[in-house]
Structure formats: C-alpha cells, structure tokens
Structure 1
Amino acid sequence: MNNNVHYHISIITLNMTLTLFPLRLFLLKSLINTKSLQLAFRFTSSLVYLPNPHVSPIKHEEKYTFFNPFVILRDYKFSGKLNARNTKILHAHLLKTHDLQCDIFSVNSLIDFYCKSADMVVAHKLFDTIAVPNIVSWNVMISGYDHNSMFLKSLEMFCRMHLFGFEPDEFSYGSVLSACVALQAPLFGMQVFSLVVKNGFLSNGYVQTRMVDMFCKNCNFREALRFFNDAASCDNVASWNAIISLAVKNGENQVALKLFRQMCRASWMPNSYTFPTILTACCALKEMQIGKGVHGRAIKCGAMDVFVETAIVDLYAKFGCMSEAYRQFSRMQVRNVVSWTAIISGFLQEDNSIFALNLFKEMRQIGMEINTYTVTSVLSACAKPGMIEEAEQVHSLVLKLGLILDVKVRATLINMYAKIGEVGLSELVFTETNNTKDCGIWASMLSSCAQNQNSGRAIELFTIMLGEGVKPDEYCICSLLSIMNCLNLGSQVHGYILKSGLVADASVGCSLFTMYSKCGCLEESYEVFRLVLVKDNVSWASMISGFAEHGYPDRALRLFKEMLYQEIVPDRITLISTLTACADLGFLQRGREIHGYAFCLGLGTNTVVGGALVNMYSKCGSLSLASKVFDMLLYKDAFACSSLVSAYAQKGLIEESFSLFHDMLLNDVTVDAFTISSILGTASLLCRSDIGTQLHAYVEKVGLQANVSVGSSLVTMYSKCGSIEDCRKAFDDVEMPDLIGWTSIIVSYAQHGKGAEALSAYELMKSEGIQPDAVTFVGILSACSRSGLVEEAFFYLNSMLEDYNITPSHRHYACIVDLLSRSGRLREAESFINNMPVEPDALIWGTLLAACKVHGDFELGKLAAKKVMELEPSDVGAYVSFSNICADGGQWEEVTKIRSSLNKTGMKKEPGWSLV
C-alpha cells in the first residue's frame, strides 16, 4: 500500500472518530491493559486532534517499547464491535502508531477483520501490500472469499497461491474444497484431491471432512462412502459424523446405522452431533428398539445436551410412545422451541389435540418463542370440527406475530379451515394472499376443494392457476385427480401431466390410475400403473383395490402375487383389498395364507385387517374361523361386527345374529349403515313386521333412514313382511336412491302384483339418469308377468339387448314363460321355450310344469316334468307336481309309478309349514 493509500484511509477514519466514540474508549482500554497510561493519553489525544497521521510525537523506539499491537488486536477481535467502519479506524491507528510493513501478524489480523466484515475489496488491497505473504495470509484470503460466498475468487486465490510456489496446508485445502462444493465443480475438486494425496494431507481430519462433503455433494453418496472407507484414515469423530450425516440426508439410513456401529466398535466416542443424526435414522427405519439403545448410549457417553434430548423426545413421539416422550421432555433442564414443537407434534400425531393445545398455551405463558413449525403444528391441532373458536384464536395470534406472511403458515390455515368445514374462511385466506405465484398456496386451496368434494371449484381454480402462469406441482395434480369423476376432464389432465413431465412421479401416477379406476376404465388404469417407474406401497395398494372393488378379484390376487415377487412388503390397505378379493372368489385357502402373512407382519390383530379377515372367513363359509378371529380382536369395530352378523344371517343363525347385534348396542360399538343393512336382512328372513318396526325406529333414532343401503334393506324387509305401503314410505326417506334402491322398490311392487307402479318406478328411475341392470329387468318382467302385461314384457325383453346391451339370462326367459303360462297360452310358452337362444334349464321347464298343473294340461305337463327330472333328478317338487297333474286327470296308474320311483330313490317331500 503506497503513501497515498495510507493517507486516504487515515483521513477517512479520522473524520469518523468523533461519531465513533465507543471505539475510541475501546482503544483506550486496550492501551491501559499495556500499562502505559501516558502513551494512552498521547494516543487518544493524537487520534482526535492530529490532522496528519504520519506526524507522530512518539518515537519509533518508544512505540516498540510501550506499544503492544497484539493486545489491541486481540481485544478488538473479541469485543463484539467488529465491522467494516471500526476496522478502518483500527487500521488507521495502526498505520500511525505501528510499522505494519514489519509486522505480518498485524496485517494478517487486519485482513481477517476486513474479511469478517464482508469488505473483501479493502482486504484484497491490503493483502497486495504485503511484500512476502505467509501461509496465514493466503489462508485468510481464501477462507474470506469462501465465507463471503465469493467462491470463484476463493478458487482464484488458491490457484494464485499455488502458482507462486506456496505449499497449501489443511486450512487452505479445507476452504478451497468448500468453494468447490458450493460451485459444484467436481473436476476442480478432484484436482485439489490429487494435491491433498500428493502432499500427505489425506489423513487430516479437517481435510477428510471437507473431502467427504465434496464427494457426496459433487459426485454421489456411494463415491463419498468409498472414499471414506478406502482413502480416509477415520481418525477423528468429525469425519464419522460427516459421513453418517450424509448417509441420513441421502436416505441411506441402514448404511448410517452400520457406520454408527463401526464407529462404536472402533472405540470412537459419539458426541452431541452424532446422536441426533442417528436417532433420525432410527425414526425413518421405524427401529424403536435400536433407538432405545442409542438413547442408552447417549446417557452413557454423557452427551445429553438440548439437541440430543430433543431428538430423543422426537424419537418416542414419532413411535407413539407419548408417555415416555413426555417424561423425557419433563426431565429436560433446557428446552428450546424445537423441543416444544416436537412434543406438541407428537401429541397431535396421536390425535390428542387438547393436550397439544395445552402445551402450546404453557409454552406461551413462559415466554418461549415460537416459529413457523410450531404454528403449523398448532393449526393442525385445531383442524377438527367443533374447534372453530380455538382455530380463530390461533389465527389471531398468527396475525399478531406477523407469521401470516409465511407461505407455509398461510397454506396450513387454508387446510385447517377446510377440515373444520369452513370453506368460506379458506377462500378468504386464499384471496388475501399476495403471493399468488406460490404453488403451495394453490395446492392447499385445491386440497380444500377435494376435502369438501367441490370438484367444480377445484377445476375452476386449476384453470385460473394455469392462466396466471403458475405451474402446478404434484400436490396440485393429486388433489385435483382425487375428486375427478369425469373421464373427459381426467383425460385432459392426463395430457397435461404428460406434457409437464410429472408422469414419472409416483404419487401423480397413483392418483391418475385411481381416477381411471373410479371412472370404470380398469384397462387404462392398469396401463398407467405399469408405466409408473417407481411404485411405492400406495401405488400397489391403489391398483389392487381398484381391481378388487370393480369386480376383478382374480386380477387383484395376481397383482398381489407380483408385488410379493418384487419383495415389496404390503401394508394393511393392500392386505384388506386382497382379503376382499379372496372373499369375493370364495378362496378360503388363499385367504388363510394371507392371514398367516398378516400375522407375521404383526397385523393379525389389527382392527381393520381383523374386520377384513372376519368378512373373508364369513363369505367363504367358515363361521368357526370367522368367530375365532372376531374373538381375538382387542377392539371390535362396526365392520367386523357387521360381517359376522351378516354371516350368521346367511347361515340361518338368526338368534346368533340378533345376539351379536344386541352386544354391539350394549358395548356402544358404532353401528353403521352396513351393520343396519345386515341385521335388517336377518329380520326379513323372519318375516316379523314387529321386529322390523323396532329396527326401523332405531334407524330413525340414529339418523340413517336417508342412507341408500339402509333404505333398500328396509324396503326389502317390509316387502317380505307384506307391507307395501311401508316399503314406499321407507323408499321415500332415501335422499338419493341408487340402482339397488330403485331395483328394491320395483321388485317389491312386482312381488305384490302392482305392475303399473313397478313400471312407473322404472320410468322415474330412467329419468334420474340411472341405467338398469339385469336384476332390475328381472323385477320389471316379473311385474309384467303378475299383471298379465304380455306386450309390455316383450318390449322390455327386447329393450334389454337393444338399449342397454344386457344379454337376457334364464331368469328373464323364465319370467316370459311364467307370463304366457299365467295367461293360459301354454302352447305359446312351449314354442317360446323351444325357440330361445339358450338351452332351457330346470327353472324354465318347472315354471311351465306349474302352469300345466293349474290349467290341467296333462300331456304338456308330462313333457315338462320329464325335462325337469332329466335336468334335476333330485328335484322332489317336479315329481310331486307331475303326480298331482296325473291325479287331477284320473291317471292313477301314473301316480302310483311316480310315487314308487320316488320311494326307490329315497327322496321325500318336505312337509309345508307356516308362521301363522
């Protein structure tokens, strides 16, 4: 630095001395520490009044005798007043009182102060004045540029140092490697690595740590691990901590645990940096026992600071051990905001919102600061119906603290109000958002629409979002697809997904093929599923559920088998869907195998899986196993109870069915629509209107009368009890009857001979946009048969195939035969049977046989009876009907033959019975 520069810096700093009196006092204090009061007085006087810093009343020999720059530099370094302006004043003072050209320590210290004050321009100029810089000078500049994020300058300074023949030390390598990491310059980093190896610094712990970091961030974790294992000597805890931390950050949690074990076997003592990282790995791997072991080792090592204790609280909280988590939290001597947030989040995870809010209240009372993570946790705790008052209070606090500006907080507010059901408040928070370009806010609003099944608003928001140039992320797409039931719009969204490149995302792919499943397009759904590159558990569960729920149980089982071949462990959702498929197919043995698999996974007594097992065993006809599984369940939910109730009813065990239903009511088990439908089905078998009326009263009490499945069961029950008026009343209570509901009332009308009402209900069903199925047409044709509507019957028979592409079955043809036979047109019925496109079965010939008995047609009855006995040799009714026809016609010899053959076969006619 030339004299002009000296003078320039001195004049600037002297002009600032009057405004920076505290620094002048600091310098005075430093000089007092040198025990030279007279010199201190001269220094302060000259600092204030001398116009020329080069005119000093102190001789050089006095300066070296009484002046100690080391004390001033040391005190300034730790004074807490280090900034660019104060550093310039100190620089000017040292120029005036000290020969910096001869003191490399003072110059290096000044350069360091300028670097820490982020004034790299002056630092570089000062560095250039050093005639012969030492290694410290170079290191200060390299690290200074690195700390001030001027990474290219750091690299340039390192290259310049190397060019001038200076040998770098561990600090030089550490700083330049840090710059290489920041710049993502792996080629330059490898060149530095070569110098490290060449100059023998590979075993240095500081350099090792930087090298591991560089290998991981600029290459990949595997290369970093290979370097750690092969090149590094691993002779310091910092290196172990670095590689373990990088393993956890890269999701290599098993590797992190293995490295931790190696570290302990190598007798390296883990510290307070090691334990939080390894506890995070235990949480990710759901290794509770290992986590407890790490907790014990942390106590043994004496590394229980606030960070380790917080990680331990978080460990127990994430595993749902809230009593232990709270005990550890209570023992903490020092708690920070992270500790409080961890325990609050733990109780929230266990759905204990009240305790979480009480903890937050306690946190506020002691004056503990809160951050955005705390606020988002508390807002999530308030996201329950009936907690609108608490939600508004926390919202007010968010506004008061100014945290509303945080995007995550605002998004959580939108989600909270959506879950409470206050969609209007969600909209209000959304409209008040200034940063509408943030994708997270849009995702929250779309999720709000999805939670409240507002597909129209979701599509509108998505369109506005695209119009404003905001690119939807995977969360936006998944929320939109979750409520989309229109194939046309879904296909358009699929096109956008392909265009935007989100199709490779597992969650997007899962939502997409789930949408196709809901729209009934199973082939398209499976095609999307196959294209998903990385299939997680949710993807497999969704596809298997799609097959099981849409009538493809065999494909669901095949997919489950493929999933196991790929060594993917199924979750409870997958097991439930697979058990449902086994129940639909009646595969008892396969269901037992899956039961064993669920037991090995520890899910054998899970409430939801247990309910699916009860349902599977019930539908497969194994009531004993269904009952055993039911008894093993610690908590018996409505689904398990309903499955067993329905199974008892189907087996005719009416007493057991009602007894179980009674136990449910006594034990306050939630009775849902499925349970009510099952017990109503049982009541219909008794044909007891008094029991049915009591059940109907209970349905009214619990408010399930509008449910379509309950309403349909009530209609069927009243129909079998002979009360068509009650059928109509029960049907009218249903808010939105589905196909099953409409079919139930049509069949009820048909069974009671009210053909006109049945046909009227059918036309009304079509006007509601509901298409009939094969069962509906059985009811329609039966109504026509019992009302003698021949022309109408043939019209509806033709409509099945022409309008709805439903191929008539034997039951439909039997209705036509019954209609013609009831009308006395037996020969037309015979001709119709002979010209049917399907081979007539015993039901059709039996229908004609019954009509022949009524009308006394011996010859045709004999033919029909012969056909029935050929098709169903064990049908006693056919023998009896033919015998009665012969008796009515006086053909007693035939009667004797028929009864003789009946006795020879050992068949007996069951006696009739009546409830009356």
Structure 2
Amino acid sequence: MISHIGQRFPASISHFACRFTSSLALIGMSYNTTHKYDENSTPFDPLKFFNDHRLSRQPSIRNTKILHAHLLKTDAMRSNLFFANSLLSWYCKSSSMFVARKLFDSITLPNLQSWNIMISGYNGNSMFDKSWEIFCRQHSFGEELNEFTYGSVLSACSALQAPALGKQVYSLAMKKGFVCDGYVRTGMIDLFSKNCSFEEAQRVFFDVSCGNVVCWNAIISGAVRNGEYWAALNLFCQMCRQSLKPNGYTFPSVLTACCSLKELQIGEIIHGHAIKCVAADIFVDTAIVDLYAKCGHMDEAGRKFLQMPIHNVVSWTAIISGFVQENDSISALKFFKYMRETGEEINNYTVTSVLAACSKPGMIQEASQIHSLILKLPLILEATVQATLINMYAKIGEVGLSDSAFSEIKNVKDVRIWAAMMSSYAYNQNSRKAVESFLLMLQEGVKPDEYCMSTVLSTINCLHIVRQMHSYTLKSGLVIHATVGCSLFTVYSKCGCLEESHRVFEEVPNKDNVSWASMIAGFVEHGYAGHTFQLFKEMLCQEILPDYLTLTAILTACSALSFLQASKEIHGYAFRLGMGTDTVIGGALVYAYSKCRRLDQARRVFNMLPQKDAVACSSLVSGYAQNGLIEEALLLFHDIILTDLPIDTFTISSVLKAVALSNRSSVGTQLHAYTEKLGLQSDAHVGSSLVTMYSKCGSLEDCCKAFDHIEKPDLIGWTAIIASYAQHGKGSEGLATYELMRREGIQPDAVTFVAVLLACSHNGLVEEAFSYLNSMVKDYGIKPGHRHYACIVDLLGRSGRLKEAENFINSMPIKPDALIWGTLLAACKVHGNYELGKLAAEKVMEVEQCDAGTYVSFSNICADLGQWDEVLRIRELMKGCGSNKEPGWSFV
C-alpha cells in the first residue's frame, strides 16, 4: 500500500527538498559530531533516501528516530501524510509499536493506509488484541475499509481464536462487496480451518468460484492441518483440472498429506508434477525428502537430499528423523555429523531426533556425547529437549542418569519435564518412583495434564492407590479426557475389579477406539468374552467406526470362545472397511481360526497377507501344534526360516511347544541351538518354553540349564521350573524354587499353585500342601479351582488316606468334577478299595458317560479282586455307551 503512495511522491515533495538537504545529511554519520556542508558533495536525494529506507527489511530504529526528529523540526508531516505513514511503517518493522502508536495518535486525519499500517504492524508483532482494537476504532469512525484491512483483521481474529468476531468481519466484507477478493477469502478460510471446522472453511471456499492460487493453498493447507488428508489431495486434483499452476506453497502441503497417508505412489506422481511446475525450491525439496523418509524409502530420500542444491535445518532434520524412524541410528548419527561439519545451526527438532537415535541399549557413549553438545547450546533450556533427554536415558536403561538429567533442570515448572520423568519410571516398571514423582510434582505446584495422569496410572497395581488417583481425576476434571478415562478403567481391570472398570468406562464422555478396544480386551482377559459382543454392538450403534485395535480385540474374544461364526462375520466386516489384508488384523484372524480348529481357513488368511508379521507366523505355528498337527507346525517354521519371514520370541516359543508335544528331543536340541544363534535364549518366553520342552522330554538337568540362562525370569518361567521339579519327583527342590520366586518379588497365580501342590503331592508332603492351599486364599486372594483340589485328593490318595480324600471332596466349596472323582478312582485302583472305587466311578460316569478310562480303571479294580462277573458287566456298559479303549503306543 505504501508503494501506491510512493508513486505520487516526486510531485508532492519537491518544494521540501532544499529544506531537508543540509539537515538530513547528518543521518548515517555520528549523531554527536557536527559536519560542515560540503558544496562538492552529492546533493541529498529525499526520494532515494525514503525508497532505500522503505525497502530495507529491518529499518534502523536510530535512523528512523533521527528522520522523525527532522520531520518534526521542518513541520513536514503536517502538509504531507506520506512522511507519517512511512515513519509508521518503519517503526512497525523495527518492533517499536509503542512509538508507532504515539505517532499514529498524533496524526490529525489518518488515511486508509495509516490504519492498515497499524493493523498489520500489530499483527507482525503478535499484538493481535491491539489489531482488533484499531479495527474497531477505524470502523466506529466510519473510515474507509479495503481488502487489506479485512484480510489483516481476519488474521488477527484467527490468532485470537475468535471465529465469532471473524464471522462479523467477513459479513461486513461481504456487505461492502469484497467477498470475491482473494485476500479476504484466504483470511476467512484460514480462520475457520484453525479455529472452527474444516467444513466451514470449505463452505467459504466453494461459495464463489475461485481462480486465485493463494485461496487454493489456504484450503489445501487447512485440510492438512485438520487431518483431512484425502480432502487435501482431492482439492489439489480439482485445482490442477482448472489449469491453475501450483506453486512452492502448494506442494509442501499435498506432500505432507501423502506422508500422513503413507501414499508413496501418489506422492511420486506429485513429485513429478512439482518438477514440471516449480524450479529448485528448498521447501518443496524438503517435503519430497520427508515423503520418502516417512514412507520408509531411505535410499530414495537420501538420493533426493544429496541432489538438493542447498540445505537448511529443516531438510537436515527430515533426513535424520527418517533414519530414526527406520531404526537406523548409525546413519542418523552420521548425517548429524555431516550437518555439524557444514556449520548448519541445529534446532530443538534436530536435537530431539538425534536423542531418539541414541535411545538404545548399548549406546550410552553416543548419548553422553550428544548430551555434552546440548549443554554447550542454549537448546538445553528447551523443555522438549530436556524431556527427550530424560526419555533417552530411560530407554537405554540408565534410570540413574535420567534422575541426574532431571536434577540439573532449573525450571521444573513445565509439566512436560515431569511427564518425561514419570514415563521414564513407567518404562522401567518402577511404579513406586512414578507415584513419588507425581506427588512431588503436586508439591511443586505443577498441575498434571492428561498425559502425566495416564502415565502414572499405567504403572500402578495397588487398588488403594488407584482409588485415590481416581478421586484426584474427578476433583481436577482430568477424568473428562478419553486417555485418562481409558487408563483408569484399564488399571481397575488390571487389579481384578472388572465391575468398577466397566463403571468408569460408562462414565467416559468421549470414548475413542482405544477406549472401546481396551474395555473389550478387559472382558476377554477376565473370562467374560461373551460380554464383548454386546459392547461391540453398542459401539456400532453409536456410529463409531472401529479401527484395527477394536477389531483385533473382538477377534481375541472370538478366539477365547472358539466362536467360528463370529470370526467369519468380523472377517467380512474387516474387508468392508478395507482392512481385510491388514497385517495386525490378519494375525488376529489366523489366531481366531486356529482356535476354532479351522486350520485350512487360518492358512488361507495367512497366505493372503501381503506382509506377514511375527504374530501371524506364531499364531499359525501354535494352531498347528495345539491341534496335534506337529509335522505341519515344524514344516511351516522351516518355510518361515527359508523365506526370511520375521521370527520373534513368540514364534520360537510356539514351535518349541509343538516339539514338547511330540517329545522329539533331537529337534528340540536343534531349536535350542537356533535360539542361541539368534541370541534369544535369555528371553523369558523362549526360556520358559525351553524349560517345558526339556521337562516333557525327560531331561531335568537341561531344564535347569535353560532356566539359568533366562535373564529375567517371569511368572511363567518360574512356574515352568517348579512344575518340572514336581514332575520329576523333586518336590523339595520345587518348593525351594517357589520360595526363591517369592523373595524375588514375583506374585504367584493359580497355575503356580497347581505346580506347588503337585510338588507336594509327588513327595507326600500333606501338611505343606494344606498350608499352601490356605496361603493362596489368605495371602493372594486366589480361589482354588478343580485342579488345586484334585492335587490334594491325589496327595491323600498317594498316602493311602482314601477316607480323608472322600471327606475332603464332600467338604469342598465347589462341586467336584470328573477330574477330582477320577483322581480318587485312580488312588482306589492303587490301593484296591472296591467300594470307594465304585462310588468314584459312578460319580465320573454321571458327568462323563463315555469316558473309556473310567470304565477301564474300575474294571481293573474288579479284576484285581477277582470279581469277573462285575468286569463283564462293566465291559458291556462300556460297549453300550459307545466308548472304545484306544490301544496303547510308545515312542520306544
């Protein structure tokens, strides 16, 4: 707007030129030094001086004030408003808004340019409330407004997050006939896309057909900002169909959309279009590098990066973060080294990417070096850098260094720092320290956000503390956040309070897919898989579109119930949603069909998956093994190795279980060697499977060796070794191992107590068995099941105390099943107790009429006592119910 005034400058200023020549010659010299006018010097050209000063990106505040003083001395501003407006513009550019406002208020009759300069000046200095104030004053005075006025004040409304005010301004612009102006429409589109809704922004954009590229850029960037990536690509296509040429602002937005959608093929097409439309542009080139990096094509990303004529900090950060995303820390650090060698300044985004690259066990030296570099830079004061530094040490496993990094931070009032510290403890499963940090944060007067609350809740396993935290979330209002609500009902579920978990779930106001999936998983975990289908129906009734998390959770319920029909329905629904070949859902489908004993369909789904992950592989191997198809399981594992498909601990564990079922010790030994080669022998899952496999193959010594190689045995590993001792008649060693497990802080579960009671049973430790049975109820709140009671019956039977065993069965709080009566029947056979054996046999046949083993056991008791008539009668009963005795077989 000042350039328009400048066109009238020569005619209006000529009679002032001679008056300013001597006085303005002082500008640029020392302010305190007096110089005589040199007659031979070049005459001062006011037009040139004003133009030079106006075109300067950052005008000197000193020269501006000197010029202002001379204009006041010569009284020039009274007769020509151009000088005042020029001074206003220069003060605004130099961020001297207080002086600019005083000058503006001194102008008797400011014109349209004066008002516009002040509004845009306040915008440029982020004083948006002042921009609105000036606009209101201008409008109340009845001053003229133009498209620049409306566009600038709409930008202020956007920054103030005041869409209601923006709508009033836009209505006024429409009334004055500026609705078709690109500057005004761009401002309104930007306002709606940032503060209201993308639909409103689209309505403004499509109200009038537009051939302005700036408007198209605004609506496309607004779509990307609101996560409407497909809409952004569709708008780009419409723009190209209208023969509008995209520019350097268009391509970064649409390439960002392709990055978010992982649509590399579309991105490559846009890349080709950018080559035709835009010359070398650092922002477009950076977006192209980011596209290939985010889509995992680092070779191409590196090639495009090296082809860039110049690099800035954003392009360097894009290539470094791409390598970090691909888990290639070495290349990320190499590029960071090259960046430092070029002298390019780094920012907090670069530093956080490099710190993430060092967040691996064994990289403590590199982490320390980067930490030292950060300490030399002012970036250490950035909260995001400090938080990433704490997280880096936590992921390396150096929690002590995380504590040290935290203690060095002077400003602990930033909630992100506390969140990082709690996340560090949570990552290393230190619940006590996480809760202590939370309490210390409250003492420091820092209010936790939803991320802090979710993090600390994820670490708690004490119901009393959970309820206190629940009360705090209600008091602070954090419970309204979906992430906090999800963490709350998840931790209640983890503590075994499913009813309270569901109550919290019902109270969460805005449930997202993660919330629904977590609640469904909670029902499945606690044995209420049937309730999950009703929950899933409620979700669909609320018109919430399930994602892969929810579908995976409901497929887990189908697996638990062996519900084939529901599995097929979910399979079809996944195809309708376009997720039929998704890797995660595919793995869940393979597992569900395997559990339903439909191995043909499981294999068909497995073969259809474009990318097979470890879950799908281990699910199918496990399915074959559990259904007795041991050869198929081993052949599939062999194919997985040959085709370089992913092999993880779960796959190895599954095939080891298959070997255990087949009692093939030679194959098991080969697999053990293979796990050693992969370096997985210390994993808890693999180690536990090795223990079980060697136990089934009869080698207790190898069991103990496999257990000793486990780095951190979990509950399953401890239970496996206790059961191995019990099965090999080493009850005392098994009980000693149980006590060692307790001293390690591992809480036993129901399966562990089965192994403990078996150890007591195989060694005749009656009193100890009753002590452990009481302990599981009193100390751990575990209700004994049929298997626990069967162990006690077996123990009493082995000790010849059959009458006590009968009395124990009759006094049990649960109804005895076929397993318990069958155990008593086996004891009666050993001790030749016909009467009690007959009673036990009748009880078993009431529950399982066609159990061949019961008929055979009771028949053998009768045969041992010489009651051959009874033997014949039992054999006839066996034939009558259609039960047949399978012939025995042996591997030997």
TM-score norm. by structure 1 comes to 0.78
Amino acid in structure 2 at the alignment position of 1:333:
P
- Is the 2:193–2:223 Cα contact (8 Å) retained in structure 1? no
Amino acid in structure 1 at the alignment position of 2:30:
T
Give the match for residue 85 of structure 1.
Answer: 62
- Is the 2:395–2:427 Cα contact (8 Å) retained in structure 1? yes
For residue 422 of structure 2, give the secondary structure of its aligned residue in structure 1. helix
Residues 533/693 of structure 1: CA separation in 2 closer, same or farther (3 Å cut): same
Shift of 1:465: 1.7
Distance in 1 between residues matched to 2:881 and 2:753, nearest whole Å = 38
Residues 627/433 of structure 1: CA separation in 2 closer, same or farther (3 Å cut): same
Alpha-carbon RMSD = 5.0
Give the match for residue 434 of structure 1.
Answer: 410
Q: Which runs of 5+ in 2 are unaligned?
A: 1-19
Shift of 1:345: 1.8
- Is the 1:13–1:88 Cα contact (8 Å) retained in structure 2? no
Residues 792/495 of structure 1: CA separation in 2 closer, same or farther (3 Å cut): closer
For residue 355 of structure 1, give the secondary structure of its aligned residue in structure 2. helix
Residues 434/321 of structure 1: CA separation in 2 closer, same or farther (3 Å cut): same
Residues 106/715 of structure 1: CA separation in 2 closer, same or farther (3 Å cut): closer
Residues 622/336 of structure 1: CA separation in 2 closer, same or farther (3 Å cut): same
Amino acid in structure 2 at the alignment position of 1:200:
G
Seq. identity, %: 64
Give the match for residue 183 of structure 2.
Answer: 206
Q: Deviations over 1:41-77 (max 9, x none)?
A: 7x78xxxxxxxxxxxxxxxxxxxxxxx6434422443
Give the match for residue 415 of structure 1.
Answer: 391
Residues 522/24 of structure 1: CA separation in 2 closer, same or farther (3 Å cut): farther
Residues 526/756 of structure 1: CA separation in 2 closer, same or farther (3 Å cut): same
Is the radius of gyration larger for structure 1 or structure 2?
1
1:273 corresponds to 2:283? no
Give the match for residue 544 of structure 1.
Answer: 520
Amino acid in structure 2 at the alignment position of 1:318:
K
Q: Deviations over 1:424-458 (max 9, x none)?
A: 33333222222222222222222222222233332
Q: Deviations over 1:815-836 (max 9, x none)?
A: 6766776677777877877887
Give the match for residue 490 of structure 1.
Answer: 466
Aligned match for 1:468, one of 444, 448, 465: 444
Residues 484/174 of structure 1: CA separation in 2 closer, same or farther (3 Å cut): same
Amino acid in structure 1 at the alignment position of 2:476:
S
Shift of 1:215: 6.0
Superposed, 1:853-892 pairs within 5 Å as 874-877=850-853, 880=856
1:529 corresponds to 2:505? yes
Amino acid in structure 2 at the alignment position of 1:579:
L
1:168 corresponds to 2:179? no
For residue 488 of structure 1, give the secondary structure of its aligned residue in structure 2. helix
Aligned match for 1:19, one of 1, 24, 30: 30
Distance in 2 between residues matched to 1:495 and 1:506, nearest whole Å = 16
For residue 383 of structure 1, give the secondary structure of its aligned residue in structure 2. coil
- Is the 1:874–1:907 Cα contact (8 Å) retained in structure 2? yes
Distance in 2 between residues matched to 1:415 and 1:363, nearest whole Å = 24
Paired residues, what number? Answer: 873
Distance in 1 between residues matched to 2:132 and 2:783, nearest whole Å = 80
For residue 485 of structure 1, give the secondary structure of its aligned residue in structure 2. coil
Deviates more, 1:438-447 or 1:871-880: 871-880
- Is the 1:439–1:472 Cα contact (8 Å) retained in structure 2? yes
Deviates more, 1:488-497 or 1:643-652: 643-652
Give the match for residue 212 of structure 2.
Answer: 236
Amino acid in structure 2 at the alignment position of 1:542:
S
Q: Which runs of 5+ in 1 are unaligned?
A: 1-8, 29-36, 45-67
Amino acid in structure 2 at the alignment position of 1:340:
W
Give the match for residue 380 of structure 1.
Answer: 356
Give the match for residue 3 of structure 2.
Answer: none
Distance in 2 between residues matched to 1:355 and 1:814, nearest whole Å = 60
Give the match for residue 33 of structure 1.
Answer: none
Aligned match for 1:346, one of 311, 318, 322: 322
Shift of 1:860: 6.8
Distance in 1 between residues matched to 2:101 and 2:753, nearest whole Å = 93
Amino acid in structure 2 at the alignment position of 1:90:
L
Residues 171/872 of structure 1: CA separation in 2 closer, same or farther (3 Å cut): closer
Give the match for residue 486 of structure 2.
Answer: 510
- Is the 2:26–2:35 Cα contact (8 Å) retained in structure 1? no
1:555 corresponds to 2:566? no
Residues 857/599 of structure 1: CA separation in 2 closer, same or farther (3 Å cut): same
Amino acid in structure 2 at the alignment position of 1:361:
K
For residue 19 of structure 1, give the secondary structure of its aligned residue in structure 2. coil
1:620 corresponds to 2:631? no
- Is the 2:850–2:882 Cα contact (8 Å) retained in structure 1? no
Distance in 2 between residues matched to 1:774 and 1:150, nearest whole Å = 66
Residues 427/708 of structure 1: CA separation in 2 closer, same or farther (3 Å cut): closer
Shift of 1:172: 4.3
Amino acid in structure 2 at the alignment position of 1:245:
S
- Is the 1:784–1:792 Cα contact (8 Å) retained in structure 2? yes
- Is the 1:146–1:175 Cα contact (8 Å) retained in structure 2? yes
Residues 174/486 of structure 1: CA separation in 2 closer, same or farther (3 Å cut): same
Give the match for residue 500 of structure 1.
Answer: 476
Amino acid in structure 2 at the alignment position of 1:85:
R
Q: Deviations over 1:509-530 (max 9, x none)?
A: 3333332232222233333333
Q: Deviations over 1:290-340 (max 9, x none)?
A: 544544444444466322232233233323333443444344334322222
Residues 719/259 of structure 1: CA separation in 2 closer, same or farther (3 Å cut): closer
Distance in 1 between residues matched to 2:807 and 2:28, nearest whole Å = 122
Amino acid in structure 2 at the alignment position of 1:545:
A
- Is the 1:614–1:644 Cα contact (8 Å) retained in structure 2? yes
- Is the 1:17–1:89 Cα contact (8 Å) retained in structure 2? no
Give the match for residue 459 of structure 1.
Answer: 435
Deviates more, 1:421-430 or 1:822-831: 822-831
Shift of 1:634: 6.8
Residues 871/207 of structure 1: CA separation in 2 closer, same or farther (3 Å cut): closer
Distance in 1 between residues matched to 2:28 and 2:711, nearest whole Å = 85
Give the match for residue 290 of structure 2.
Answer: 314
Residues 519/78 of structure 1: CA separation in 2 closer, same or farther (3 Å cut): same
For residue 448 of structure 1, give the secondary structure of its aligned residue in structure 2. helix
Superposed, 1:334-733 pairs within 5 Å as 334-566=310-542, 568-598=544-574, 609-630=585-606, 639-658=615-634, 674=650, 678=654, 681-685=657-661
Residues 850/111 of structure 1: CA separation in 2 closer, same or farther (3 Å cut): closer
Residues 20/488 of structure 1: CA separation in 2 closer, same or farther (3 Å cut): same
For residue 335 of structure 1, give the secondary structure of its aligned residue in structure 2. coil
Shift of 1:19: 1.0
Amino acid in structure 1 at the alignment position of 2:490:
T
Deviates more, 1:464-473 or 1:852-861: 852-861
Shift of 1:545: 3.0
Distance in 1 between residues matched to 2:304 and 2:596, nearest whole Å = 49
